[in-house]
Amino acid sequence: MTAHEIDFHIYGEEMQFVEIELDPQEAVVAEAGSFMMMDSGIKMDTIFGDGSNQTSGVLGKLFSAGKRLLTGESLFMTAFLNVESGKKKVSFAAPYPGKIVPIDLTNYQGKFICQKDAFLCAAKGVSVGIEFSKRLGRGLFGGEGFIMQKLEGDGMAFVHAGGTLSRKELAPGEVLKVDTGCIVGFTQEVDYDIEFVGGIRNTVFGGEGLFFASLRGPGVVYIQSLPFSRLAGRVLAAAPRAGGKDKGEGSVLGGIGDLLDGDNRF
């Protein structure tokens, strides 16, 4: 094992958090902003990249950290190390409603590919890198662009999926067609490409976009029911308009109700 071997427990339903138990000198790395709580005796340290390139010198560390800029993430990650003699616990929270997915990389030949903002935390030693798309169509229209994240190593990693999670095991040659934003991640054997929806009515009036993802087995695919982009779009659509007035959504009176709510100024 090159990655630290950690124990964990996931709590909650809609808004989950993962509690990781660290033996002495065990550590976990996490994205900035995911930390929730920890026991006394755990040392928190900000590091370049994922901390998996500790023997490659300054240039190697800078290159490892710089790759994260291409995925839209920070140059830095946070490491949590148990510096005492007993077991200690540290917890990380999901950024929005959904499920935390534990990924044991030893079950997936040491590599798992996921969308850019899915990674939550991992055992120290797991490499968090980038995966370039070799297909122009996938890069331009795949929703995730040319670049996705790849998790490599032999330890545990945790990714977040919005809404309800679906895990699909694809047989050789089996094809699953998915909305591009609903992909959480997949194993390295899965062949991922983009297909045009087709049809004038589907294209103009369908409301589902021009393309969907085509995933061909064998391999394992994780699908989310609520991508963050979809959640943000719904929140933005329901937000009050300029001047503090909303659409009166859910009210029989609609806009007339604004005159009766007692908060409007004339």
Kindly list the distances between the CA atom of residue 240 and the CA atoms of 17, 193, 266, in Å, as whole numbers in the listed order: 31, 38, 18
Residue (of 20, 26, 18, 29) closest to 1 by Cα position: 26
**Helix (H/G/I), strand (E/B), else coil: 255:** helix
Q: Which residues 6+ apart lie within 8 Å of 157 measured at CB? A: 102, 103, 105, 112, 119, 121, 122, 123, 126, 151
For position 189, what pLDDT does the model report?
Answer: 93
Give the pLDDT band (50/70/90) at residue 265. very low
Residue 49 has a pLDDT of: 66
Higher-pLDDT residue of 4, 142: 4
Query: Which pLDDT value is given to residue 2?
Result: 76
Give the model's pLDDT for residue 56. Answer: 52
Of the candidates 96, 234, 225, the one whose C-alpha atom is nearest the C-alpha of residue 160 is 96
C-alpha span between 259 and 88 (Å, rounded): 56
Tell me the pTM: 0.77
Q: Measured between alpha carbons, how far is 180 from 214 in angstroms, rounded to an integer? A: 9
The dihedrals phi and psi of 136, each to the nearest 5 degrees, come to: -60, -45
Rg (CA), the chain: 22
Separation of alpha carbons 127 and 51, rounded Å: 8
Residue 260: pLDDT over 50: no
Q: Under DSSP, is residue 202 helix (H, G, I), strand (E, B) or coil?
A: helix
Mean pLDDT of 68-77: 63
C-alpha span between 53 and 191 (Å, rounded): 29
pLDDT band per the 50, 70, 90 thresholds, residue 142: very low
**Banded model confidence at residue 3, pLDDT cuts 50, 70, 90:** confident
Task: Tell me the pLDDT of the chain averaged across its residues.
Answer: 78
H or E element that contains 151: strand 147-152
Lowest-pLDDT range, 151-160, 215-224, 236-245?
236-245
How far apart are the C-alpha atoms of 226 and 214, rounded to whole Å?
19
CB atoms under 10 Å from CB of 92, counted, come to 27
Q: What's 167-193 look like in SS3?
A: EEEECCCCEEEECHHHEEEEECCCEEE
Helix/strand number for the chain, H first, E second:
4, 19
Question: Helix, strand, or coil here: 55?
Answer: coil
Q: How many C-beta neighbours within 10 Å does residue 105 have?
A: 21
Query: Looking at the domain 7-51+75-136+145-237, which fold is it?
Result: Double-stranded beta-helix (3.60.160)
Q: Which residues contact 147 (CB under 8 A, 6 or more apart)?
A: 70, 71, 116, 130, 131, 132, 133
Per-residue confidence (pLDDT) for residue 89, from 0 to 100: 96
HSE at residue 66, side-chain half, CA atoms within 13 A, is 6
d(CA 160, CA 120): 6
